[in-house]
Structure 1
């Protein structure tokens, strides 16, 4: 047995470490995804017998105006979340400076990263409260009345996304700080010798070395915007009148409250298809970039 292990340990050792995670991923993610697609072709209340309905759930989805509201809100999430990587990079460049007190500032900027999304949602619900919230105090100081953002159909999604941006910017900040700590000092020194300063140094020397980190920040940000659920659930429950609902929350609402698990699975399948399309584009772009720099 020991001789067999010595002959094959070059592949057995990593396999034993990877196997538990691979089994868990296969059961929780792969099998669950396949089952979700299968359920989407059925009419099912989550308890009784599933009834095959083919593409009926998808046809209902196309005719459902709430689906387009949710899809539009997801697009708003993605568009506004695109602010997170550049803001995170700007803060990382600021906090990476050798200035006294920067360690304390880093700790303060890291705070939203360690907070649960539910906590962030509750805090911003208080901030947006038009009677006693922080926003109300700011408007009162100017003699104005604070708007009820979470009750306004036109601004509620923007208000929720702003709250979600707080921890997302902190996450991108951490990624870029790690990237800045791994910069090639020789390239920076060569850039200084060539007279690169300020924006020229950033654009021509620093940003090319942060390309991989930027790809990761972009991917995590887009996926985070697409799977947005907890902030909507905590702050608005999809209201008012479904105006802040996103695809993930509509899926949850249809499945849990309306007992339409087949319809909810159809929404989940569409959301999965959107994510899969983005991931394929992301991986293809990443591979092309690596081949171009090889």
Structure 2
């Protein structure tokens, strides 16, 4: 394991501490850095865009968890003996294998005014003209819908693989005892799917908090910054026309990292406490 540990330390652990160190400086990434201590954090907590980004990240986090039950239901359906099941599996698996850039472009066309399918459907049914990506009320939810498409496919794959490991003996014993339907799912199947659920939750938390690709492709944080999240806000401050504020961008990255670690660590601790994760 030594080579893997060395690579992990050099390319993951060291950059984390380096980012924390940079967050204490005013630095443009090229010239001389100036020590500002907690100045970047003080400015950050007085920045309205920061709170908009956190609010959007929380919306992403809550709605992204819809991928778990949706993925589970699809996996249960595809695990049955159904005519054409291989075709269905391919169709549902497709969103996972295409890039986020392609997903963003597809949904941008789907929402587009004048020729977008959803735009025309809403106009036909209600008479209203709704440009999802240009409306402050709907833009975040429109991007999340695009993100959920491949995320549901990923959860489906996890659960589909896990369903093959479910004990048939327990299923038969439960049937003999009269269990079926929701009782079978809740008391027999789901407990055996906890390892897959654990992975799905962790990956979903990470995916929701580091959402960047779709926002960059679909809105660039607009309209008027209302769809921005912490990862895109960090990019804007550190690597865009805002002046290459590497220290300020690093401070945003540290806050995002701490949020992610707090959520994942709390979830892992609770799972281990309840004995739902194998030792």
Q: TM-score, normalised by structure 2?
A: 0.96
| Counterpart for residue 274 of structure 1 | 259
Which residue does 1:15 correspond to in 2?
Answer: none
Question: How big is each residue's C-alpha offset from its partner over 1:6-53, in whole Å with a ceiling of 9 and x where there is no partner?
Answer: xxxxxxxxxxxx233222211111111111000000000111011000
Corresponding position of 1:262: 247
How far off is 1:211 after superposition? 1.4
**What is residue 176 of structure 1 aligned with on the other side?**
159
| Unpaired runs of at least 5, structure 1 | 1-17
With over 3 angstroms needed to count, the CA separation of the structure-2 counterparts of 1:292 and 1:171, relative to structure 1, is closer
- The alignment of Structure 1 onto Structure 2 pairs a total of residues equal to 277
CA RMSD of aligned residues (A): 1.5
Asked whether the equivalents of residues 136 and 145 of structure 1 are also in contact (C-alpha less than 8 Å), the reply is no
Q: 3-state DSSP class of the match of 1:263?
A: helix
- Residue 94 of structure 1 is matched in structure 2 by 77
Q: Matches of residues 231-250 of structure 1 in structure 2 within 5 Å? A: 231-250=214-233
Partner of residue 62, structure 2: 79
| 1:191–1:134 CA distance, 2 compared to 1 (3 A) | same
Distance 1:293 1:253 in 2: 41
Partner residue of 2:120 out of 137, 147, 158: 137
Question: What is the deviation of 1:154?
Answer: 1.3
Gaps in structure 2 of 5+ consecutive residues: none
Q: Which runs of 4+ in 1 moved over 6 A?
A: 291-294
Q: Could you tell me whether the CA contact under 8 Å between 1:150 and 1:159 is conserved in 2?
A: yes
Counterparts of 1:199 and 1:271, CA distance in 2: 38
Kept in 1, the 8 Å contact 2:271–2:277? The answer is no
Report which stretch shifted further, 160-169 or 252-261: 252-261
Question: Are 2:234 and 1:251 equivalent residues in the alignment?
Answer: yes
Residue 268 (structure 2) aligns with: 283
Whole-angstrom distance in 2 between the partners of 1:281 and 1:21: 26
Comparing 114-123 with 141-150, which one deviates more in the overlay?
Answer: 141-150
After superposition, where does 1:180-259 map in structure 2 within 5 Å? Answer: 180-257=163-240, 258=242, 259=244
CA distance in 2: counterparts of 1:187 and 1:293, whole angstroms:
19
Structure 1 position 203, deviation (Å): 1.1
Return the offset for 1:213. 1.2
Q: 2:132 aligns with which of 128, 143, 149?
A: 149
101-110 or 210-219: bigger deviation: 210-219
What is the distance in 2 between the residues matched to 1:179 and 1:141? Answer: 43
The structure whose Rg is larger is: 1
How far did 1:139 drift? 2.9
Equivalent pair of 2:132/2:139 in contact (CA under 8 Å): yes
| Post-superposition offset of 1:70 | 0.2
